[in-house]
Amino acid sequence: MKHKIIIAGLIIAGLFTSCQEDYLDAPAQSTLDEALIFSTPGLAKDAVNGIKITFGDTNSYRGRFLPFYGLNTDTEWYNSGETTSNDKPDLTNYDAKSNNSQMDLIETPGGGGGNPWTSMYRGIERANLCIRGLRTYGNPVAGSELGYLLGEALTLRAIFYSDLIKQHGDVPARFEPVNSQTLYLPRTNRDVIYKQIIQDLGEAANLVPWPNESTATSTVEGINKAFVKGLRARLALAASGYQQYKDGVRRSTDPDLSVANMYRLALDETRSVIASGKANLNPSFETLWKNVNKEVLTAGGESLWEIPFGAGRGKMLISFAVLHNAIDQYQTGGTSIGGSAGPLPTVFYDYDVKDTRRDVTCVPYAYGKAVNGKAQQELGVINKWYFGKYRIEWMNRILNNKDDDGINKVYMRYAEVLLIAAEAANELEGPGAAAPYLKEVRRRAFAAADQAQKVDAYVDAFSGKEAMFQAIVDENKYELTGEMERKQQLIRWNLLKTNLDLAKEKMFNLQRRSGEYATVPTDLYYKYKEDNETLIVYGLNKGETQNPGAGYTLFVDSKGASAWNVLKDDKINSLYKLGVNPDTKQYWPIWESLINTSNGQLVNY
């Protein structure tokens, strides 16, 4: 049964309202309560669970961060990016303003409003209270329940800070509960924060068990050692990578965050996870994603940790699933469920035609109007594909909500651990050391009969360090498109604008059917399987330019022209706003309402 975060209301209310007293340096009237709470495993667990509430705040991860952060890249984009009727596209096209109407919202009394910033700092404050309480009143050692809870709180705090840095670059650092001296803080150099949370994750890795080594780590909603080590490796690469500072795009100058140090840490941590055997690739890429949509939560497989949304929270499918245009056999929530973003149209053609990840990741159809309660898959236009990793039709239940779906966010999976290992090994030890990890990821993507050519020969051909690096960049695309990891990767590789410009060039080539897209058909033909729902399409693959004959119908739009051939300039240029340099807009600004209430401490660079 899906885990629900249940909070002991009076305990949490007493604990977290005590921080209001801390703001004024009043006597700590809750000291006795904290001593009881954080020395009692059951009560301490309720307090740590309270940290997670902020994931589901209306304008936090649920409704603002996850639906918008990570778009637009060379693989993913906002499907209505060419529109100008609201501020949503600006959150994706590198032109967000500090008064953006989707983000510049005032926090409501009691929490739940505001924006990701306010919710994430609320989560950080709760984590700080738990960490202080556990260290002061508990005995949080490895192998104990209180030790696990400290590891969980440290990891959750690291997640909030890493995601704040993704959004805003430098942000205020608070690693103790708020008091009157720290109520208003300026931005802190993110290097300081990276070093602290990398250190915290090192401590947490010693406190939490491997997947399935305890009740707490028996599901993918429980913080476990494999995830903590994987996240630590991810953050090590980000901290040492290129990123925009006030003086330009560069690597950190802090010697602790050098490439040599951080890539070694990343390689050691990922090799530890790999050697443990406590996480594994699902043998089938499609089954992996079906299980996510079916809410299979068993730990020890590919998903290392998931943001735990209850059935009435979360918008992963509402935002990213294959579009359902009407109430149908799979959902009764309403019209236009899903489809807000999707892969760039070129991504489908970047895959090897035999790569089984392609048709799972890139979907060219939506579900149309229902007839007698049942809708069919219907083709659309070439500039609007959907992420097939998220499908309402794969759920174990009928979706009856237009705002929330309850599907968890897969925050990290084992395939990324292998790709990080490949990248770090290539940097430190060369292509030969990277090859086994890259081969393991690719082997799952191809049938056994194709692996000699598509896996072994393909990887072995990359004998140089730079060639292997480019292969790893490409493999991240094939494996992770639709999971919104690409933006931070492009930033740390110093490839953001370079690859966005290349993506635009490729889309214009696709529009003209030139270069590598010269043999992409301009017409599609379709028919339905016996279920009268599932499409069979001819004309998607390069070279499929002949009429397939009887039984197939030419796809046309309502005006009689071939809808598949429509890829307009304004849509292509919506990848990033014309006149904007994405390398100078790697981060969202701090929102105006936050600046106005910061007592002059917060400014935008």
pLDDT digits over 410-453, tens only? 999 999 999 999 999 999 999 999 999 999 999 999 999 999 99
Helix (H, G, I), strand (E, B) or coil at 171: strand
350's tokens: 């970047």
Model confidence at 491, pLDDT cuts 50, 70, 90, reads very high
DSSP 249: E
Region for 426 from its dihedrals, namely left if φ exceeds 0, alpha if ψ lies in -120 to 50, beta otherwise: alpha
Cβ partners under 8 Å of residue 68, min gap 6: 78, 88, 91, 92, 102
Q: Which residues pair with 387 in a beta bridge?
A: 362
535-538 vs 365-367, strand pairing mode = unpaired
Distance CA 182, CA 177 (A): 9
Residue 112 has pLDDT above 70, yes or no: no
Cβ partners under 8 Å of residue 521, min gap 6: 539, 540, 541, 542, 543, 544, 545, 564
Q: Which residues pair with 84 in a beta bridge?
A: none
The closest of 318, 340, 267 to 70, measured between CA atoms, is: 340
Report percent pLDDT > 70 for the chain.
93
Distance CA 595, CA 162 (A): 21
Q: Give the pLDDT confidence score for residue 560 in this predicted structure.
A: 56
Cβ partners under 8 Å of residue 184, min gap 6: 598, 599, 600, 601
Q: What is the pLDDT of residues 257-308, one digit of tens each?
A: 999 999 999 999 999 999 999 999 999 999 999 999 999 999 999 999 999 9
The closest of 433, 427, 424 to 465, measured between CA atoms, is: 427
Distance CA 220, CA 212 (A): 10
Residue 92 has pLDDT above 60, yes or no: yes
Distance CA 140, CA 530 (A): 59
Q: Give the pLDDT confidence score for residue 26 in this predicted structure.
A: 36
**How many CB atoms neighbour CB 369 within 10 A?**
12
Q: What is the pLDDT of residues 306-354, one digit of tens each?
A: 999 988 899 999 999 999 999 999 999 999 999 999 999 999 999 999 9
Distance CA 591, CA 101 (A): 10
State phi, psi for 359 to the nearest 5 degrees: -75, -15
What is the chain's alpha carbon radius of gyration, rounded to the nearest angstrom?
24
Q: Alpha helices, DSSP H only, in 294-350?
A: 316-320, 345-350
Model confidence at 556, pLDDT cuts 50, 70, 90, reads confident
**182 exposed, middle or buried (CB, 10 Å; 0-12, 13-18, 19+)?**
middle
State pTM to two decimals.
Answer: 0.95
Model confidence at 562, pLDDT cuts 50, 70, 90, reads low
Q: Where are the domains of the chain?
A: 36-270+591-597
Q: How many CA atoms lie within 13 A of 82 on its CB side?
A: 9
Buried b (16+ CB within 10 A) or exposed e, 542-558: eebeeeeeeebeebeee
Helix axes 431-443, 465-480, angle to 10 degrees: 20
Distance CA 120, CA 143 (A): 29
* Virtual torsion, Cα 18, 19, 25, 30, nearest 10 deg: 30
Cβ partners under 8 Å of residue 339, min gap 6: 79, 320, 321, 322, 323, 324, 366, 384, 386
In this structure, of 2-16, 112-126, 456-470, 524-538, the range with the lowest mean pLDDT score is 2-16
Distance CA 424, CA 491 (A): 17
User: Once rounded to an integer, what is the mean pLDDT over residues 365-378?
Assistant: 96
Distance CA 408, CA 422 (A): 27
DSSP 374: B
Distance CA 249, CA 268 (A): 27
The length of the chain is 605
Residue 27 has pLDDT above 60, yes or no: no
CATH of domain 36-270+591-597: 1.25.40.390
Q: Which residues pair with 409 in a beta bridge?
A: 307
Q: Alpha helices, DSSP H only, in 169-284?
A: 190-207, 225-240, 259-276
**How many CB atoms neighbour CB 605 within 10 A?**
12
Buried b (16+ CB within 10 A) or exposed e, 193-204: bbbbbbebbeeb
Does the CA dihedral 553-555-556-558 come out positive or negative? positive
Do 347 and 481 form a contact (C-beta atoms < 8 A)?
A: yes
Q: Give the pLDDT confidence score for residue 311 in this predicted structure.
A: 83
Residue 25 has pLDDT above 50, yes or no: no
* Alpha carbon separation from 252 to 92, 235, 424 (Å, rounded): 26, 13, 17
Distance CA 168, CA 56 (A): 21
